[in-house]
Amino acid sequence: MAQTITKGVKSLLAEANKVVKTVSIEEAQALLDSPDHVFVDLRDIRELKRSGKIPGAFSCPRGMLEFWIDPESPYHKEIFNQDKTYLFYCASAWRSALSAQVAMEMGLAPVAHIAGGFSAWLKADAPIEELE
């Protein structure tokens, strides 16, 4: 018997986008050198190697987010224990919307995500950092 999915990704994204602040590419570019903001790249390493990342962004694969945020987790990363604004992004702002919502539910604040994700960042000809 086939599964019956009761809530699809469109619903999940709509719910996330109702509660998560979305920052435009222009706003994100203006914050690039801000010491009060942490850019968090949720894409996997293959994506980073293929197309680079926003300069100075912290790489956090989506599958590790909750474990790296939680200070009681053995995998906790101190970067998530700062009094800063966290700007999440992925390729197209889907994973980042869901991730930002989860991060907020966990108590991380303030949190936002970048409209259009890294694809929009590239399209805007914004600076990128190549990975070796």
Digit-coded pLDDT (tens) for 36-55: 999 999 999 999 999 999 99
User: What is the pLDDT, as a whole number, of residue 131?
Assistant: 87
Q: What is the pLDDT of residues 51-73, one digit of tens each?
A: 999 999 999 999 999 999 999 99
Structural domains in the chain plus CATH codes: 18-123 (3.40.250.10)
DSSP string, 60-98: --GGGHHHHH-TTSTT--GGGSSSSEEEEE-SSSSHHHH
Q: Is the pLDDT of residue 132 over 90?
A: no
Span 1-34, pLDDT tens digits = 899 999 999 999 999 999 999 999 999 999 999 9
Mean pLDDT to the nearest integer, 86-94: 98
